[in-house]
Amino acid sequence: MENINDSLILTKKFRSPVEFSLYIEERVLKERIGYIDVILDYCKNHDIDVDNVGKLITKSLKEKIQLEAEEFNLMKPRGRLPI
């Protein structure tokens, strides 16, 4: 039952993953905090399970979250080419 409610809340405010990702991007820029913190804060404030937000994260936002996680040693870094 909890998953259904979470999905309804998410789709009521955001009609697409692009809208959700833009919302997250705006908050990151405006509040100058990390992507992970913004998403966790959103979930906490709206009483949503973090696992249910994954379907609303676009590929570009996912990459930014991954870079942030690597930067803070939350996950093993991927190989990068020197540019």
Tens-binned pLDDT, residue by residue, of the chain (83 aa): 445 455 555 556 788 889 999 999 999 999 999 999 999 999 999 888 888 888 889 999 999 999 999 998 888 887 665 66
What is the domain range of residue 61? 2-71
Q: Domains in the chain: how many in total?
A: 1
Within-domain flag for 80:
no
Tokens 């020197």 identify what position?
A: 82
The answer, as to whether pTM is greater than 0.75, is yes
Within-domain flag for 82:
no
Within-domain flag for 46:
yes
Cα separation, 78 vs 83, in Å, equals: 15
Within-domain flag for 83:
no
Cα separation, 29 vs 21, in Å, equals: 12
Cα separation, 75 vs 68, in Å, equals: 9
